[in-house]
A and B are shown apart, each in its own frame.
Chain A
Amino acid sequence: MKFRKERLDRGIKARCDDIFALSSYREMSYLLFPRVLPVAALLILPLLKGVIGMYWEKVLMISCTIALLALSWDLMASVGLISLGQALFFGAGAYITGFLNHSFKLSPIVTIPLGTLGGALFSTLLLLPVLRLRGVYFAIVTLTFPLLLSRFIETTKILGGTEGMSGLSPLPSVWVEMYVPVLALIVCLFGFRRLINEDYGLVLQGIRDNDRAVMSGAINIYWFKAQAVFIAGVAGAFAGSFMTHYNQVVGMASFAMDYSVMPLTAAVLGGVGSFAGPAIGAFVLMPLSEVLRAAGTLRVVVYSAILIICVVGLPEGAFHYIRRKYHQFERMVDVG
């Protein structure tokens, strides 16, 4: 009897990396497992609130919102737009939602969708004139927008000024609080992954790789960039809208740097360009930062040290590393 090693995905991959030929349930489960596992985990975790406690449920929820912002960052990055200001989406969604609830007493069922679409539209219109910029130039402009808007609110004292708007309607129940961000994340994650591999997504990737060639292909790249920013804006503004009602208050903190920096860090840690990576990154970063509360003042030091080690050790990002290893699993086959 002779044995040799064979890769598990041998025979599954046909021609391209993303076309599979499946012939058995075993092969199907090989591909489905990494996709079903996170979804199942996300859906089950809120059910365990008795076991893991409301504190960690809240961490889960915040991780979801940061993951949404990270996905929105990754979508913009796949069109070649590197953003340092995801807080723009978050804040725009938060303020529109808060304003509608505060001034017109609309229920969250109305304000969250309106805040999501309104926030995305507002941010897209704001970014429209700078879509011609590339690389660091675009990044710098996006960095300034949240700062600019929060100072604008501070000086003009509109929308509650420095106080913000408080006393907003709470979300109907604790189940809504937990499941809405989880479901939104799942929809966004798989939606974006699907979108980028569609022909539409190829155009977006083309703009990132080589915008002049896309132009000469009779495609208006600014129109496509604007669409991508809007879609990314929807994900980001939704996070803001939701958090507004969750916290029952909206203020200048919605434009805080955290909402720009955390998604970016999550994306870099998890692996840019895969959507799954930034989501994983968010679910590593947020709980990590909570665990490190025990370290007191040293928290930031430890946190930064871990980040640096991760980025240096896995420059491709955690997701790309895990995926590569998963596809390298081998089994012994009888050749004897």
Chain B
Amino acid sequence: MSQSQEGGRPPASEPLELQPFESCGQRGEIVRQESEQQVAMDQAILKVERLSKNFGGVAAVVDVSFSLSPGELLGIIGPNGSGKTTLVNLLTGFVRPDSGKVIYQGKNITGHRPYKIAELGVARTFQMVKPFYQLSAFKNLIIPLYSSRVKRLSGGRYGDRDAVAIDLLEDVGFERDSSVPYKVASSLPHGYLKRLELARCLSLRPDLLILDELFSGMSMSEVASTLPIIEKLNSEGLSIIMVEHRLKELFRIADRIIALNFGAKIADGPPRNMMNNDAVKAAYLGSEED
């Protein structure tokens, strides 16, 4: 544990007040409605209530609460070790919380098994890519396409999974007529594997997509070509949570940002307020009192 914790961690349940609006100078900034996030609070697709998780003596996630309205793109930022991935693991059932609730589409899914949560329509990518290395790219997608969720959504029939898989790969930027979709996953470059992760999630036809550092390890051009895919999914009404270190890209497309530090939520608001938020600045750069 380092300096900024003694420097005064803010009370976990109430995030710091946000700075008034100032231009944050982002290119291509989209004007968003201030009230947008309040409107759909009641019919939130995901509601997280006072979620906590300790690993031994380390508090990985502390009393985090937030909610996500349908169609919203929520960014989660924070320095290394601030509990972002643990939060994703808690939401998707890979780690059981010590306390708190996760309510998805009005259903309490706290502590459910990962496959059950995925079955309900929450798809996630892994920060460390987890393809099936020995299978070709399109066959990677056959596995989620085999799930009962996909069967249910396509009216009780699986249909031609190979064709669906190739279509999905094309959606995330695999060239359909090249040999890339047919290559063994272990021979694909990292950027393709990242997009394969995205396609694996999309194959479940999710209602909520959680991207855990999708852009990490991607080149600038790969990020540039993936960004529109996410924007398009979001504009089609898909709710997305993005854990991301590439703040510039994230701030361009996110509706709202949550900042974590030492497992606790320190800020919550539109992206343009984040850069000027003292708590966020302190978390990333260290605060002067230290």
In chain B, what residue has the closest Cβ to A16? B182
B141 to chain A: closest residue by CB: A217
Are A216 and B134 CB-contacts (below 8 A) given A202-B139, A202-B143? no
Question: Residue-by-residue, is A208-229 near B (CB-CB < 8 Å gives 1, otherwise 0)?
Answer: 0110111111111100000000
Q: How far is the CA of A205 from the CA of B133 in the complex (A)?
A: 10
Number of A-B contacts (CB under 8 A): 87
CB of A16 within 8 A of CB of B136, answer: yes
A4 contacts partner chain B, Cβ-Cβ < 8 Å: no
Which one of B118, B132, B136 contacts A216 once the chains associate, using CB atoms below 8 Å?
B118
Q: In the complex where A199-B161, A218-B119 touch, is A206 in contact with B126 (Cβ < 8 A)?
A: no
Chain B residue nearest to A273 (CB atoms) is B134
Which of A15, A200, A210, A218 lies in contact with B144, CB distance below 8 A?
A218
Contact count band on A: 20 to 34
Interface size class for chain B?
Answer: 35 or more
Which residue from chain B places its CB closest to the CB of A209 in the assembled complex?
A: B132
Contact of A218 with B204 in the complex, beta carbons under 8 Å? yes
Does A203 touch B at the CB level, under 8 Å?
Answer: yes
3 interchain residue pairs of minimum CB distance? A217-B144, A218-B118, A218-B147
Interface positions of B (Cβ within 8 A of A): 92, 94, 113-115, 118-119, 123-124, 126, 130-136, 139-140, 142-150, 158, 161, 179, 182, 200-201, 203-204
- With A217-B147, A218-B147 known as contacts, the answer to whether A212 contacts B130 (CB < 8 A) is yes
- Are the C-beta atoms of A202 and B115 separated by less than 8 Å? no
Q: Are B146 and A213 in contact (CB under 8 A)?
A: no
CB contacts (< 8 Å) of B182 on chain A: these are 15-16
24 A-B pairs with C-beta separation under 8 A: A200-B146, A202-B132, A202-B139, A202-B143, A203-B143, A203-B146, A205-B134, A206-B135, A209-B133, A209-B135, A210-B133, A212-B130, A213-B126, A216-B92, A216-B123, A217-B118, A217-B146, A217-B147, A217-B200, A218-B119, A218-B144, A218-B147, A218-B148, A218-B150
Structural contact, B144 and A219, CB atoms closer than 8 A? yes
**Structural contact, B204 and A15, CB atoms closer than 8 A:** no
Q: Closest chain A residue to B125 by CB distance? A: A216
Please tell me which one of the listed residues A206, A209, A215 contacts residue B115 in the complex, with CB atoms under 8 A apart: A215
- Nearest-CB residue, chain A, relative to B144: A217
Least Cβ–Cβ distance between A24 and chain B, in angstroms: 24
Please give me the residue from chain A that is nearest to B136 by CB atom: A16
Q: Nearest Cβ in chain B — how far from A196, in angstroms?
A: 11
